[in-house]
Every structure is written in C-alpha cells, then in structure tokens.
C-alpha cells in the first residue's frame, strides 16, 4: 500500500468547543492508483490531506505514506511526495520559470533532470514562463502548481480540490493530465466536491462530517443503490419539491441541477402526480448514492 490510514481522528479545539474533523477514518490506496476523496466542503478532506502530507498530526490512529509513518518519518515522506493544496500557494511575485526552479532547488534537483515528468504540462505554460505567477489565469496557475508538485518526480501525489474555481475546459484538461501521470506509475490521491469527477477515479471514498460512508469503485457504489430514481422537470421545481416532501409515499426528493430527483416508498410510481410535469426513470448517479448513504 502506498497510502494507508487506520482509525485516523482529528479534533480542533477552540475556546468554548471542540470540532471533530475526522472520526476513525480508514483507507488503503495501492501503488499506481488514482483514488478520489469525494465530499462537500467541511467534510474533512483537507484535514486528512494535511495529516497524510505531515503538515498536522492526528489525534488518534496510524497512517503511512510510501511505507513511512506520518508521525515519525516526516522528512522521508516529504522527499517522496508532491502536494498541491486547494489554495494557490506559489510565489506570486516570481515568474513561472522562477517558481519551477525554486521548487526544484528545494528538492535538490533541476527542472532539466526531471523534465520528462512535467513536459506535457509545462509546454502549455512555457509561452508564459517570464510572466509572474500572480498574473496567470486560473487554469494556468493550476498547471504551474502541478508542475511544481511534480518537478522532483514524487512517488505519490496529493491534490486537494485542484479544480475548484476552474473553468470546465481546464477541468477536463487537468483530468486528462492525471490519467497520463497514472500511466507513468505515480500514485495519486485527489479530493473533490464535484460528484461528476468521482467517476474519473479508479476508486473513491465518500466522506461526510469526518466519516467515510463508502469506499469502492464508482460503478460498484452506483450498483449498490437499489432505489428507483425518477427525474422530474416542472415550471416551479421549488414549490413542487415542497409539496412532494409532504407526501407519505415519497422517500426522498431533492434538487439536482434544474431537475428534481425523486424516490418513492417501495420504488412504486403512484398515479396521482401533478399533471404539469415531465417525469422519467433514470439510472442513479454518484450524487444519488451519496445522498442515500447520508440518510442511512
């Protein structure tokens, strides 16, 4: 296992209260795997990433990365991993080229020595190599941060919500880059609040309120959902949602983009539904499975 966590717990202590960020989180990630940690903001994703990258210590449990203990072998782990935090954290007054050379120097290497690792990404930002990092677009900042995380050829790569706030085209390009890195043998753990990105991972863990709800392949998680899902479109989704939630034969009803997703008790479609709606049966998505697991 490249990344291993057993019963990891983390509590943040404030003046008048304690906040449990992680509760008995256990994960195993194999070498060369693209693993996704999927959950909304505040679910505990960043806390787990900071523990695994040795930035903070857990309050309970054990964890290893690349075979080294996160509590005892900080230097060994930091030499072997790349970390891209959710917030852009490079030096904004330095140019693209200067940032890249700086991070290579930190790890005792050069850009030229490991250029084959970053080539496919760097060629996209090389025309802007003299531009200050703070003046780059969101997608270009993302690619520069990824280059800096890869410049020392890490064994494992941690990406904390790397596509948040990035346009759809850049998001698609970024995930294409990750697939190439997996082919090169790098283990990747990526967190995301976007449920549609979950299907791009080989395996995922669904996390909410610091607890793991399920760990499996995206398809297996979908297959385990036995609910019959109906998609509804109406002139006023909000009013329809309120009225449907009051019905005894409705198990759940929630917004899904510009539609409603509806589950009936016993998965039976009743006859007495409003007339001004379009309704059809659909296959469950990861988000449907997430909501069902939260209810359980």
Q: What is the pLDDT of residue 69?
A: 97
SS3 content of the chain, % helix, strand, coil (to 5): 35, 30, 35
**133 close to 92: Cβ distance less than 8 angstroms:** yes
Helix (H, G, I), strand (E, B) or coil at 37: strand
Report pTM: 0.90
- Residues 253-291 pLDDT 10s: 999 989 999 999 888 888 888 888 898 999 998 999 998
Q: What is the pLDDT of residue 196?
A: 85
Helix (H, G, I), strand (E, B) or coil at 99: helix
Instruction: Delineate the domains of the chain, giving CATH numbers in brackets.
Output: 3-217 (3.40.50.300), 225-295 (3.30.70)
Report the distance separating Cα 128 and Cα 142, nearest Å. 14
Residue 25 CB-density burial (10 A; 0-12 exposed, 13-18 middle, 19+ buried): buried
**121 close to 181: Cβ distance less than 8 angstroms:** no
- Residues 134-190 pLDDT 10s: 999 888 898 999 999 999 999 999 999 998 877 888 888 889 989 989 988 999 999
How do strand 18-29 and strand 156-160 relate by DSSP bridges? unpaired
- Residues 100-111 pLDDT 10s: 999 999 999 999
Q: What is the pLDDT of residue 30?
A: 95
- Residues 4-17 pLDDT 10s: 999 999 999 888 88
How do strand 3-13 and strand 81-84 relate by DSSP bridges? unpaired
**241 close to 234: Cβ distance less than 8 angstroms:** no
């Amino acid at each position: 296992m490249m990344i291993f966590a057993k019963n990891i717990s983390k509590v943040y202590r404030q003046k008048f209260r304690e906040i449990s960020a992680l509760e008995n989180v256990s994960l195993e990630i194999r070498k060369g795997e693209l693993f996704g940690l999927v959950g909304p903001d505040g679910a505990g994703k960043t806390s787990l990433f900071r523990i695994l990258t040795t930035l903070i210590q857990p309050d309970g449990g054990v964890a290893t990365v690349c075979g080294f203990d996160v509590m005892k072998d900080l230097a060994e782990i930091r030499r072997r991993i790349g970390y891209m935090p959710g917030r852009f954290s490079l030096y904004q007054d330095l140019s693209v080229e200067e940032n890249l050379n700086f991070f290579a120097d930190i790890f005792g290497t050069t850009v030229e020595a490991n250029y084959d690792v970053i080539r496919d990404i760097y060629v996209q930002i090389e025309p802007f190599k003299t531009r200050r990092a703070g003046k780059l677009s969101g997608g270009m900042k993302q690619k520069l941060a990824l280059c800096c995380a890869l410049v020392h050829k890490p064994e494992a790569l941690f990406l904390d919500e790397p596509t948040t706030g990035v346009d759809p085209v850049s998001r698609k390009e970024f995930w294409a880059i990750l697939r190439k890195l997996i082919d090169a043998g790098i283990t990747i753990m990526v967190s995301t609040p976007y449920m549609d990105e979950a299907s791009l991972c080989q395996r995922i863990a669904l996390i909410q309120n610091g607890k793991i709800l399920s760990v499996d392949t995206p398809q297996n998680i979908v297959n385990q959902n036995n609910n019959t899902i109906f998609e509804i479109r109406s002139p006023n989704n909000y009013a329809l949602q309120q009225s449907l939630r009051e019905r005894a034969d409705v198990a759940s009803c929630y917004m899904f983009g510009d539609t409603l997703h509806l589950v009936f008790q016993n998965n039976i479609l009743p006859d007495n539904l409003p007339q001004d709606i379009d309704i059809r049966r659909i296959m469950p998505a990861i988000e449907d499975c997430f909501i069902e697991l939260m209810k359980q």
